[in-house]
Chains A and B, each alone.
Chain A
Amino acid sequence: MSIIIDEDQCTGCGNCVDSCPYGAIELESNKAVVLPNCNLCGICVEDCPVEAITLERDKASTEKIDLSQYKGVWVIAEHYKEVVHKVAYQLLGKGRELSNLLDSKLTFVILGANFDEELRDFSEYGMDEIIYIKSPLLKDYYSDLYVKVISELIEEHKPEIVLIGATPTGRDFAPRVAKRLHAGLTADCTGLDINPETKNLLQTRPTFGGNIMATIRTPFSRPQMATVRPGIFKAPVKIKKEVPVKVIDYNFTEEDSVSKIIKFINTSKTPVNLEDAKIIVAGGRGVGSKENFKLIEDLANVLGAELGGSRITVELNWLDPDRQIGQTGVTVSPKLYIACGISGAIQHIVGMENSNIIVAINKDPDAPIFNFAHYGIVGNLHEIIPILIEETKRMTLNKE
């Protein structure tokens, strides 16, 4: 296992030196040389214009399992208090595309206690099959039971691709299942596709704080697992469909789990639901102060919108942490996103770029946010927003 630079091919262009995030390549006598702090991430391989860099694995690690026995795309659902997280439906939308490309089945997997009535609703999302693991205890989330049941199911049915929501729950069980099966898992994918030649799953995700995108593949092991944040993909249009359901009964008791749920605490705060919001008004550093955020909130109120903000506004304590949008906050995809005083750092952009319409209000005409906005207004938000509030009120009145 090593990284090899073909000295005859290397032209000394220095592309790899620039692209290496670890600073582990230097030019010596006009040839690229790899330093000991190389992390074998492989970024330079793709960046070399003359294909002089290769990443070689030991033979043993590429000995293939029979990949062809793995077939089908699975979406594993999760729920909190028996309400299914909508990311599962969004994954069914993407899952259908993938299964069509692979000419294989799309399966919806759910673990629960009382979903018999909902099965018909689930089937409207158009999957080919539902696997329902049923046990009274599974009305709540138990980490070890999920890992056990899902790992066993995957070993038995051998799906080729397994998609899971990148939620606190999904991020809890997915890595453990991957480890148990020694399967490759890629976190927080924002793009999923099939390589037309190899039929491998191509998993694209932001990395290095969202500054660059990496496409990851899992060439030698199965299943290919990915987690995807809510709001990245769209749920399919519902259709009338009869879907075969396989119900597997378990009789788990509390003794079967090493962990016990002692209690649920609902904090007194009003729940923030940015992920489902149709309109979001978000503020950034340009808002100026906690007091000034009132203006942003007023705009949100007249629009019936949810309030959000960039990371800095949370760090400065202008806004609650659960309203943070971006790489380290939530990912949103509303119909309308109004960014007020947000410069548009890439860490913020990755959390909102899937919005249908983005409006940016910023006094700096060179702010990167304008590159992503459908409509931009260059100016002082403290002057613009009050007028926007008035105009919105007037429009609402006219409508009524």
Chain B
Amino acid sequence: MKIFICVKQVPGVSEVKINPKTNTLVREGILSILNPNDRNAIEIALTLKEKYTAEVIALSMGPPQAEEVLRETLAMGADKAYLLTDRAFAGADTLATSYTLALAIKKILSESDPEEKYLVICGAQAVDGDTGQVPPELAEELEIPQVAYVLNVEFKENKLIAERKFRAVEIVVIETKLPALISVLNDINEPRYPSMAGIMKAHNLEIKHLNSADLNADPSKIGLNGSSTEVWKIFVPKRKGDRIILRGTIEEVVQKLCQNLKDDKIL
């Protein structure tokens, strides 16, 4: 059994601020990090590995410096890591990204036992693009079933049993065939920190680089060429609101507020 985890290096966006004078991003001091939700995917993979026998393989598509997040994934306990890196991959939307990731998974499988069962685990969403579209698209490209927004998962006789969140209080338990893909939410587990031994081990492991030639990729399906969507323009969200600040003693402002809400036919 192989467990693939797809991880992404992202800008630490909660730190991204807009300079109100120039309307541009203030990027100083912003670090690139491992997408937080991907840690939950790694944690699930490692838990499954401890329970069943499996090889955990991490994949990431990105520039050469995305090696850092793969190194971190190895330190947490993944067995192998591959970085999909090539100038030709740049500008990829989710269609092109899922195509490229699928090629790498197929290549890795073909180099061992192509019949071996596998599971792909992704974080449900990345904090930068935040589309959540890559996991289902990757499953489609691999022609395997998917279960999105998984809370809990186990294997049973070559089958996968997954609890899927439907709405806040409703859960559906789904059984599907392996190979399969699951995406996981960010509140399902407490991801482990890399141990000192893990960090030392990760330091010595090789991270294999795969480019478009290694993957035998169709140039029309990768990067910007393989993308159907493109950014047309970008802007800073407009500020709304009437900005009426109510003043006076506490009793006065509360009365003013209630009167206003009454006038607005809210209360």
Contact = CB atoms under 8 A, between A and B. Distances in A.
Contacts of B176: 258-260
A257 to B, nearest CB: 9
Contact count band on A: 35 or more
B167 A179 contact: no
Contacts of A384: 250, 253-254
A209 B13 contact: yes
B197 interface: no
A322 interface: yes
B236 A58 contact: no
B22 interface: yes
A120 B167 CA distance: 27
B146 interface: yes
Contact of A42 (B14, B164, B230): B230
B87 interface: yes
Question: At the interface, is chain B mostly helix, strand, loop or mixed?
Answer: mixed
Nearest to B246: A377
Given A180-B140, A187-B132, A395-B267, A383 B250 contact: yes
Given A172-B148, A182-B228, A384-B253, A271 B168 contact: yes
A152 to B, nearest CB: 14
Contacts of A168: 148-149, 164-167
B65 A37 contact: yes
B234 A215 contact: yes
Contact of A219 (B22, B93, B230): B230
Contact of A61 (B134, B224, B267): B224
Contact of A356 (B87, B128, B131, B266): B266
Interface residues of B, number: 97
A211 B13 contact: yes
Which of B93, B147, B233, B242 counts the most A-chain CB atoms under 10 A from its CB?
B233
Interface in B243-264: 243-246, 250-251, 253-255, 257-258, 260-262, 264
A224 B152 CA distance: 34
B209 interface: no
B90 A321 contact: no
Contacts of A41: 91, 231
Contact of A372 (B132, B241, B244): B241
B258 A186 contact: no
Contacts of B132: 171, 175, 187
B225 interface: yes
A375 B250 contact: no
Interface in B122-167: 127-137, 139-141, 145-149, 161, 163-167
A1 to B, nearest CB: 5
B170 interface: yes
Given A209-B13, A211-B18, A322-B169, A15 B24 contact: yes
Contacts of B172: 141, 261, 263-265
Contacts of B140: 147, 175-176, 179-180
Contacts of A184: 93, 95, 227-229
B11 interface: yes
Contact of B168 (A37, A180, A272): A272
A243 interface: no
A21 B16 contact: yes
A39 B95 contact: no
The 4 closest A-B pairs by CB, nearest first: A40-B91, A184-B228, A322-B168, A209-B13
Given A209-B130, A392-B258, 15 more contacts: A19-B24, A22-B11, A39-B63, A46-B231, A171-B132, A213-B237, A259-B175, A262-B174, A267-B170, A279-B266, A322-B168, A359-B257, A365-B245, A376-B246, A383-B250
Interface of B: 11, 13-14, 16-19, 22, 24-25, 27, 63-65, 87-88, 90-91, 93-95, 98, 127-137, 139-141, 145-149, 161, 163-177, 186-187, 219-220, 223-237, 239-246, 250-251, 253-255, 257-258, 260-262, 264, 266-267
28 contacts: A1-B223, A18-B22, A40-B90, A46-B231, A47-B234, A55-B230, A58-B219, A60-B219, A61-B227, A172-B136, A175-B135, A184-B93, A187-B131, A206-B237, A208-B11, A210-B237, A211-B25, A212-B237, A266-B170, A303-B267, A359-B257, A372-B239, A373-B242, A374-B244, A376-B243, A376-B244, A376-B245, A376-B246
